[in-house]
Amino acid sequence: MNALRDRGNYAHRLEFGVRAAAGDEYDAERSVRQAVLAEELGYDVVALADRPDTTGIDALTALGWIAARTSKIKLRADVLTPRDPALLARTIASLDHLSGGRAALVLGTAAGAGAAGEAVDVIRALWNTSRTGTVRYSGHFYRLSGAQPGSPAHQVPITVLGDDDRAAADLAGRKGDGWTASYPAELSLGDAAVVIDRAAELAGRDAREVRRELLIRGGLGVREGIFTGSPAEWVSDLLPLVVDHGVSGIVLDLTEVDADGKDLLTRFAQEVVPALKAGVDKVLPDGWQGRAVRSRAALARRAPGVDYDDVPADVAEVLEPGDPRYRRYRGGYLRGGTPGIVLRAETDDQVVEALAYARRHPHLPLARRSGGHGISGRSTNAGGIVIDVSGMNTIEVIDEATRRVRIGPGARWMDVAAALLPYGWALSSGDYGGVGVGGLATAGGIGYLSRAHGLTIDHLVGVRMVLADGSIVEANEVENPDLFWAVRGAGANFGIVTSFEFVVDVVGDVGYAELTHDASDTAGFLVDWGSVVEDAPRALTSFLVVSPARRGQPSYAQSRTMVDSGDPETVLAHLQPLADIAPLLAQQAQILPYAAVMANAADQDPRSAGEPVSRSGLLAHITPEFADAAARVLRGDAVYFFQIRSVGGAVSDVDPDATAYSNRAANFSVVAMGRDDASLDEAWAQLSPYFDGQYLSFDSSLRPGRLEDTWSPSTLARLRDLKAKYDPDIVFDDNFAVLPTTTEKDN
């Protein structure tokens, strides 16, 4: 057993579960009551035995129901008699999604370890969406011929039910995430461990990849052998199993207990569990909490130059390339990446820790990630470090009278809109609800209420941020006002914002229209749209996407327009001039809450593989000359997305020197996306003469001169001074980085 102890006893976190009643005698609701009670008592998992051969409640059905009645506890289907693995994969995946990633699966070997092994393969193959194409599998027992894969919400562990079966233990070692057995059993734990560990080694796995769990029965009261008597006697029965045999899961079997087993469930949770945890803490180096164990396969995917052993212990989550959840954070909505490590921070201190770790790797790129929707902001990299603050996503109203709201960088704008809706408030951000607060609120924020209410940064009254040296500072009009000035337009240059404080606007229902116009005369349409928008009252903000003529279809223009008014007559009056510009191909207008417009992003995590190619320009007016040039560019094939947004209005009211967002006079922001830099630059060159600068958030290029286009000379000079003060080592360089004043030239 010494070897075991050296390894920290497989180092798994000790978990407690309940196997709820099922089977012939029980009413359908008993398992539900037990599950709900188990959650209240803090159990980690509720298991239901799936026995379609009995007349008890169907386990998968009950788990679906329980998922809706619980919120934390893991939901485990113990599939003891074989089920069709393909359908089972679907069912468990759905259960996992519906329950927010709480599903777990145990497979029995009643039809033999061979069939169970194939079932594991089939299920894993159907859950694997990282490969493209459909799934084929040809086994002795099961066949798939081109089935479509669909992944669960998280990496659902598959545990093999072993009991006395050596072949099952072997299967668990080869393929299982865990092994579980009734205890005591004929096959001793020591013998089982030998089988499991050897099978794991032979399969090229680390024996620690396989959790060991036991299903136990007993009662509290008179001592009549193992798992009876007092809580202290239970602890002394259980402690050696954990310490000497590496058991990390203990599931209390209630299937044969009379009534609900409420007393046993409660006393076990309140008297046995804490004492056992304390006992384990005394003996094992990693305590009952254990330590995450990475599989050999995962370790093989580590990147060079990253000190994986020195990772800060206190961050919320550490993701390496081999970790299942890495995929969710490796890139974002428009950009794929292959960072060597992602550190997820959820508190200021964790950000400090993560940043210190990053700074111990000066040779590696560092990216900061909030909502993952960066275009200019490179919130991922190749082989470097990503500090992800998407988990810092709280939205709280701190003073209702002054409409002060505190928002974390990881919140998405659709969530912000939804949270402000009950107060009758809104904060203009942009046109897409999936975008994160962190990237947008440090750069500008050109949104649907820009002309009425200004940029997002114009509502900012303070931030808390972690600077390059690891200090946590407040920046507002009073404290660090220079930093506060810089954060509003160039925030990415100065640190990691961990909290934003805004004063938001009173916004009731709004008018929102989607109009599709014939734009056969593209240039003429653009000029007319531009002048209508410029002449429109500030309540109106319009975003226009122009699509060129393609495959016999004439060019058309789609505008999305918001009017800050809930009065249908006002809305119609404001929209009418827009509608009249050209023949309408489609139209839709409604009065609805601002939040309803922003609820336009699927809640799936964005996972792009590409690299955006995008250019931005700010424009005073849509002149006939500009419009002709734009129509020409659209006729070519360099641009696949072309959008003009109205700005001006309240945006222009703010003194251009008041924040680090310079080009406030512009009435329009123009964006084009293309396939590659060379062709897009060539097309863009036809438009550049008309622009007065650009908005950094919409520009992906690294061309020299982009900083000068973004900031006025005086603003840029001041930013460089501040860079020298706050980030002289240029730690933050993933988004329009300026060079500190002392250095020769900006990059």
Partner 1 sequence: MTDYGHDLIFGSFVTPVSTPVQRPVELSVVSERAGLDVVSFQDHPYMPALQDTWTLLSYVAARTERIRFTGNVLNLPLRPPAVLARAAAGLDQLSGGRFEMGIGAGGFWDAIGAMGGQRLDPGDSVLALEEGIQIMRGLWDTSQPGGFSFDGEFYQVPNAKRGPAPAHAIPVRVGSYKPRMLRLTGRVGDGWLPTLKYLPEGITSLAWMNEHIDEGALAVGRKPTDVTRYLNIDGRFSQAAGGLFDGPPQQWAEQIADVALAYGISGFLLMSDDPADLELFGREVAPLTRELVAAERD
Ligand X SMILES: Cc1cc2nc3c(=O)[nH]c(=O)nc-3n(C[C@H](O)[C@H](O)[C@H](O)COP(=O)(O)OP(=O)(O)OC[C@H]3O[C@@H](n4cnc5c(N)ncnc54)[C@H](O)[C@@H]3O)c2cc1C
Binding site for ligand X (CB under 6 A): 332-334, 367-375, 377-379, 389, 409, 430-432, 435-436, 438-440, 442-447, 491-492, 496-497, 697, 734-735
Helices (H) and strands (E) in the chain, counts: 25, 28
Name which of ligand X, partner 1, none residue 423 binds, using a CB cut-off of 5 to 8 Å depending on partner kind. none
As measured in angstroms, the least distance from the Cβ of 404 to ligand X is: 19
Name which of ligand X, partner 1, none residue 623 binds, using a CB cut-off of 5 to 8 Å depending on partner kind. none
Q: Which is nearer to ligand X, 51 or 335 (CB)?
A: 335
Contact 181, 216 (CB under 8 A): no
User: Which one of 139-147, 532-540, 555-563, 581-589 is the stretch in contact with partner 1 (CB under 8 A)?
Assistant: 139-147
| 83 in contact with partner 1 (CB under 8 A) | yes
Q: Which is nearer to ligand X, 147 or 654 (CB)?
A: 654
| 144 in contact with partner 1 (CB under 8 A) | yes
| 472 in contact with partner 1 (CB under 8 A) | no
How far is the first Cα of the chain from the last one, in angstroms, to the nearest whole number?
A: 59
**Residues in CB range of 486: below 8 A, 6 or more apart:** 493, 494, 660, 718, 719, 722, 726
Work out the widest C-alpha separation in the chain, in whole angstroms. Answer: 95
Among 2, 132, 553, 604, binds partner 1 (CB under 8 A): 604
Q: Rounded to whole angstroms, how far apart are CA atoms 571 and 578?
A: 11
How large is the angle between the packed helices 522-535 and 624-635, nearest 10 degrees?
130
Name which of partner 1, ligand X, none residue 439 binds, using a CB cut-off of 5 to 8 Å depending on partner kind. ligand X
Q: Rounded to whole angstroms, how far apart are CA atoms 198 and 230?
A: 37
Q: Rounded to whole angstroms, how far apart are CA atoms 365 and 384?
A: 5
Name which of partner 1, ligand X, none residue 290 binds, using a CB cut-off of 5 to 8 Å depending on partner kind. none
Name which of partner 1, ligand X, none residue 86 binds, using a CB cut-off of 5 to 8 Å depending on partner kind. partner 1
Name which of partner 1, ligand X, none residue 430 binds, using a CB cut-off of 5 to 8 Å depending on partner kind. ligand X
Q: What is the DSSP annotation of 235-297? A: HHHHHHHHHHH-EEEEEEE-TTSSTT-HHHHHHIIIIIHHHHHHHHHHHSTTTTT------HH
Name which of partner 1, ligand X, none residue 497 binds, using a CB cut-off of 5 to 8 Å depending on partner kind. ligand X
Peptide bond into 184 cis (omega under 30): yes
Name which of ligand X, partner 1, none residue 369 binds, using a CB cut-off of 5 to 8 Å depending on partner kind. ligand X
Name which of ligand X, partner 1, none residue 112 binds, using a CB cut-off of 5 to 8 Å depending on partner kind. none
As measured in angstroms, the least distance from the Cβ of 465 to ligand X is: 7
As measured in angstroms, the least distance from the Cβ of 147 to partner 1 is: 4
Q: Which is nearer to ligand X, 205 or 369 (CB)?
A: 369
- Looking from the CA of 281 toward its CB, the CA atoms found within 13 Å total 7
Residue 500 tokens read as 């934003």
Contact 460, 505 (CB under 8 A): no
Residue 426 tokens read as 């809104």
Q: Which is nearer to ligand X, 464 or 720 (CB)?
A: 464
| 142 in contact with partner 1 (CB under 8 A) | yes
Between the CA of residue 418 and those of 45, 98, 164, 446, what are the distances in Å?
A: 32, 21, 54, 19
As measured in angstroms, the least distance from the Cβ of 447 to partner 1 is: 23
Between the CA of residue 715 and those of 482, 663, 692, 701, 719, what are the distances in Å?
A: 12, 11, 15, 21, 6
Name which of ligand X, partner 1, none residue 660 binds, using a CB cut-off of 5 to 8 Å depending on partner kind. none
| 29 in contact with partner 1 (CB under 8 A) | yes
Q: What is the DSSP annotation of 110-160? A: TT-HHHHHHHHHHHHHHH--SS-S-EEEE-SS-EEEEEPP---SS---EEE
What would the x/- binding string for partner 1 be over residues 53 to 72, using CB under 8 A? xxxxxx-xxxxxxxxxx---
Q: Which is nearer to partner 1, 118 or 727 (CB)?
A: 118
Among 4, 98, 226, 421, binds partner 1 (CB under 8 A): 98
Q: Rounded to whole angstroms, how far apart are CA atoms 318 and 310?
A: 12
Strand partners, 367: 386
For 80, phi then psi, to 5°, come to: -90, -35
Q: Which is nearer to partner 1, 98 or 503 (CB)?
A: 98
Q: Which is nearer to partner 1, 55 or 688 (CB)?
A: 55
| 146 in contact with partner 1 (CB under 8 A) | yes
Under the rule (CB under 8 A), what is the footprint of partner 1?
24, 27-29, 32, 52-58, 60-69, 83-87, 90-91, 93-95, 97-98, 122, 134, 142-150, 153, 602-604
